């Protein structure tokens, strides 16, 4: 027939995207982890109506970000690693820390600084109630890559 395709078929997710779960499941759970494309453990978060995806293990020492609190620091939404409380921005994967202006001046004045991108952030899309992740395949090394190797995964599973 010549009728236009129904809206539910008018958009196909990019072929590099991987189905994670139904949106309602992540809305209920708040966070879901999944091995994507057989090669990457990804954490998907739902927070205040927005979806975010990143490498599941913290760039510092492989802490399980799935169990981290979500908090704002300096106006930026972060996940706080449960292991040593590193703060990682959910949008960019930047490591944030508090620096001291001048240690000789009391009271100490602190301010937030960024260590740059440390955690690999992935693209997350919702299509008709389904949530997809497209892996960030930029060839630039990012520190969280360290904990995505087959070796690390099997060691974790054996531990």
Given the complex with ligand FES, which of 13 and 82 has the nearer CB atom?
A: 82
DSSP secondary structure, the chain, as one string:
--SPPPGGGS----TTEEEEEEHHHHHHHSEEEEEETTTEEEEEEEETTEEEEEESB-TTT--BGGG-EEEEETTEEEEE-TTT--EEETTT-EEEEEEES-TTSSS--EEEEEEEE-S-EEEEEEETTEEEEE----SS--GGGGGGSHHHHHHHHH-
What is the smallest separation between the CB atom of 159 and ligand FES, expressed in angstroms? 15
Q: Count residues contacting ligand FES (CB under 6 A)?
A: 9
Q: Print the binding letters for residues 79-108 with ligand FES: x by CB under 6 A, - otherwise.
A: --x-xx-x----------------------
Binding mask 45-84 for ligand FES (x = CB under 6 A): -------------x-xxxx-----------------x-xx
The answer to the question of residue 131 lying near ligand FES (CB under 6 A) is no
* Binding positions for ligand FES, rule: CB under 6 A: 58, 60-63, 81, 83-84, 86
């Amino acid at each position: 027939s010549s009728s236009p395709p129904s809206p539910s078929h008018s958009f196909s997710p990019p072929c590099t995207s991987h189905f994670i779960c139904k949106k309602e499941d992540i809305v209920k759970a708040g966070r879901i982890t999944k091995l994507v494309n057989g090669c990457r453990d990804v954490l998907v978060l739902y927070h205040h109506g927005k979806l975010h995806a990143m490498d599941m293990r913290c760039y510092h020492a492989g802490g399980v970000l799935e169990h981290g609190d979500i908090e704002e620091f300096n106006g930026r939404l972060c996940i706080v690693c449960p292991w040593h409380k590193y703060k990682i921005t959910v949008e960019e994967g930047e490591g944030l820390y508090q620096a001291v202006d001048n240690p000789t001046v009391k009271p100490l004045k602190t301010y937030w600084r960024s260590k740059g991108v440390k955690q690999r952030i992935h693209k997350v899309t919702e299509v008709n109630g389904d949530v997809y992740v497209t892996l960030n395949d930029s060839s630039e090394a990012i520190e969280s890559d360290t904990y995505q190797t087959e070796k690390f995964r099997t060691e974790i599973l054996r531990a």
